[in-house]
Amino acid sequence: MKKYVFILMSCFLSFLSFGQNDTISSDVIATAGGDTTVNGVSVSWTLGEVAIETIANDDSTLILTQGFQQGYFEITSIGEPLSNNFLLKVYPNPASEFVWVALESEEIKDAIVELYDMEGKLVYNSKLNVVEGPNKIELNRLSSSQYILRISDATGNVLQTFKLIKR
């Protein structure tokens, strides 16, 4: 009986420690596959994946994808721009030290940049001068995380919202 209790407790503790990872890596288990990079172009393939399904635990710390090979990508823009009278670029994303915000528009001269953490707390707020060109936002004082970058015109109308990844 003690042996069964010990095995059960060991399994329970291993599941608890397994779910504590902060990162998710992309791994594929298949019967065959490979990858190659030529002149900066990378191609990877797998063979033998028949099922198409994605399984995740409740807080999405563990994700298993079966079926077609899933590439690694980050969603950086949240929603479409509300109008077509401007071109807005945020780069680089992911960023480590700073990010550039470039807003090109004939009508919009000033804008407001707001950066929120994932709890919804405002961590950065600044006026964006469209005429002077790309504006640099320093990220050095922020911890590595994901942030919501919202850009509004001078009257407060939201132009576009981005997910910013600080490494």
**47 and 24 inside one domain:** yes
| Contact criterion met (CB below 8 Å) for 54 and 40 | no
The answer, yes or no, to whether residue 167 has pLDDT greater than 80, is yes
Dihedral Cα 70, 21, 142, 156, nearest 10 deg: 50
Q: Map tokens 């994303």 to a residue.
A: 93
Please report whether residue 71 resides in a domain.
no
pLDDT in tens, 57-104: 777 666 555 555 555 445 556 666 666 778 888 988 889 899 999 988
Q: Average pLDDT for residues 11-21, to the nearest whole number? A: 53
Please report whether residue 62 resides in a domain.
yes
**32 and 104 inside one domain:** no
**pTM of the entire predicted model:** 0.54
pLDDT in the model for residue 11? 61
Q: What is the CATH number of the domain that holds 130?
A: 2.60.40.2550
Q: Which domain holds residue 105?
A: 77-166
pLDDT in tens, 117-166: 989 999 999 998 888 889 999 999 999 999 999 999 888 888 889 999 89
**54 and 98 inside one domain:** no
Please report whether residue 72 resides in a domain.
no
| 138: amino acid identity, one letter | E
